[in-house]
Amino acid sequence: MSNKKTATSLDRPAAANPLDIVPHDMPFDVPYGAPISLQRAQAAVHAAVAEAEKRGWKMNVAVVDSGGNLVAFQRMDGAQLASIQIAEKKARAAVTFRRNTKVFEDGMQLDHLEFLLTFDGLVASRGGIPLIVQGKIVGGLGCSGGTSSQDEVVCQVGAAAIG
């Protein structure tokens, strides 16, 4: 019998938890501003829909104000019915959490941060973007109906239209 010790998982130091890192600055610390106007919300929707039409994608597009209230919505002909609520939820999540919903998709898919599922109103799928004007969040844009990456492309075009 050998006295040589074999390494086990209990003998190895635990991997560093990236959540233990304490950043100096507060992440995603964008202040809320006055609610987006109907005119601006409609401009974002129209730009997103134009991009979706150009690509042949059927989308639902929602804009909420800085308080998460629906301001503008458009369902393209033939767009999936379930995506009506998903577009609204993505827009609200972008405002509520002050970040693109892609951050949560990455957290779930890449970083295995399953605790994210405990957050009310969270959507872990691309296609939700906070609308920022003069450094303040005025609303959120949510797009749904395609794949997450298609939703995100359409959303980015809509957000750029008011930026």
CATH number where 97 lies: 3.30.450.150
Residue 81 carries which side chain, given as an amino acid letter?
L
Question: In whole angstroms, what is the distance from residue 55 CA to residue 146 CA?
Answer: 11
Answer yes or no: are the C-beta atoms of 72 and 4 closer than 8 Å: no
Specify if 21 maps to a domain: no
Specify if 118 maps to a domain: yes
List the chain pLDDT tens, one digit each, 163 residues.
555 555 554 555 555 766 677 878 877 889 999 999 999 999 999 999 999 999 999 999 999 999 999 999 999 999 999 999 999 999 999 999 999 999 888 777 777 777 777 777 778 889 999 999 999 999 999 999 999 999 999 999 999 999 7
Specify if 40 maps to a domain: yes
Residue 12 carries which side chain, given as an amino acid letter?
R
Helix axes 38-55, 148-160, angle to 10 degrees: 130
Specify if 44 maps to a domain: yes
Specify if 82 maps to a domain: yes
Q: Which domain holds residue 71?
A: 31-160
Specify if 10 maps to a domain: no
Answer yes or no: are the C-beta atoms of 148 and 156 closer than 8 Å: no
Specify if 22 maps to a domain: no
Number of domains composing the chain: 1
Whole-structure pTM value: 0.83
Specify if 90 maps to a domain: yes
